[in-house]
Amino acid sequence: MNNQNKLRSAIVAIACGITSTGVLAQASVSNVSVDPYGQINYGVMVTDSAAGTKTYTADNDNSASRAGVRLSGDVADTGLTVGAHVELEYQVNPSNAVSEDERTISGEFAERHLNVYVAGAFGKASVGQGDGAANGNIERDLSGTAVISYANPGLMGGGLSFVEKSNPADTVRFGAAMSDQDFESRYTRVRYDLPSVGPLKVALSQGTKNDDQDVTEIGARFDGDLGGKVSAAVGYSSRDVGGAADRVDTLGGSVSWLHDSGFNVTGAYSTVSDDDAANPDSDFFLVKLGYKTGRHAMDIHMMEASDRVAEGDSAQTIGLGYVYTPVKYFSAYAGYNNNSLDRNAGDYENVDTLFVGALLKF
């Protein structure tokens, strides 16, 4: 049995244990649902940097290989639904981690979700490892190309380095210089999703990450119609890091609009700041133009992140992507990014990435 099948079998076993011995097994719970799922997302990444041209077989970290299960059941005579979400990731050669010096990286399990929840007319309350309230709010995208042209280009080749042309010892890791700064991702938290108001959804979360750093987040999303489909989001997060920085605050949002013709446009912006005067605020923005027709989706995009490693830095990504989805559970895709770094002192070699791969969902 391969590793992905072992992972899926393990999660299903956990789900069966929960449903047979836990709250979902009680007689007062009906409409019990156990929904296992997973995906494998691999491809070939060809890179060109100061180290020359190299080829990697990599797991696409834009949407990493994973398996999970969602469980839910209705509690009789209460109007409440209780449930749980378990999801584990397993990657061999993650596309954001492989580098010129480490082209193969052994796979390991990483938790993504392990939480329980209760939902009703009051909204939804969940506790455990999972998404913060603002996670993904810089990454709203209706283009159909997110699997290859994601809002965070550092997930594709982020382990590679910009190298100063006259001083090869002077290097800057691409993934450090470029990020969409999408809030605090997943961590152990208490999260509350308020009842939806039409197309508007608001969520709050409080938790800890990196051992002892307190995190607070608020996020809002809107999905509706405005001359076409619209998906928009904003968010704010604050993480207590201590020291001179004190707290790291992130503010930003994104909006994507898809016309009935298939033309679409997406934009995003984020800014990160703290109290350390020696640490400059960093900004990110994205502009993406796309077109969808039938089973095909394509885009061109430009992104810039400034001041992430040093004040005056500007990392830029310009690229394009194409996705073919003949059936809803399979996509084949290809994309190219030209990544560059401008710094007040120094002239750095570009990092170019070409990725061709396939995503299979099950």
pLDDT value for 19: 42
Which whole number is the average pLDDT over 204-215?
95
Q: Report residue 4's pLDDT band, with 50, 70 and 90 as the boundaries.
A: very low
pLDDT over threshold 90, residue 122: yes
How far, in Å, CA of 52 to CA of 47, rounded?
A: 8
How large a percentage of the chain has pLDDT more than 90? 90
Burial 259-272, CB ≥16 within 10 A → b, else e: eeebebbbebbbbb
Q: Report the range of poorest mean pLDDT among 2-6, 195-199, 250-254.
A: 2-6
Query: What domains, with CATH codes, occur in the chain?
Result: 42-63+131-361 (2.40.160)
Structure confidence by residue, pLDDT tens digits, 282-305: 999 999 999 999 999 999 999 999
Mean residue pLDDT of the chain comes to 93
What's the angle, vertex CA 315, arms to CA 311 and CA 320, rounded to 5? Answer: 165
The burial of 92, by beta-carbon neighbours within 10 Å (0-12 exposed, 13-18 middle, 19 or more buried), is given as middle
Give the global pTM. 0.90
Asked if residue 73 lies in contact with residue 25, where contact means CB atoms within 8 angstroms, the answer is: no
- Among residues 62, 112, 67, the alpha carbon closest in space to that of 301 is found at 62
What's the angle, vertex CA 44, arms to CA 42 and CA 48, rounded to 5? Answer: 140
Q: Report residue 16's pLDDT band, with 50, 70 and 90 as the boundaries.
A: very low
pLDDT over threshold 90, residue 211: no
pLDDT value for 21: 40
Which whole number is the average pLDDT over 127-152?
98
Centre a 10 Å sphere on the Cβ of residue 52 and count the other Cβ atoms it contains: 8
Compute the half-sphere exposure of residue 338: CA atoms within 13 Å on the CB side of its CA. Answer: 5
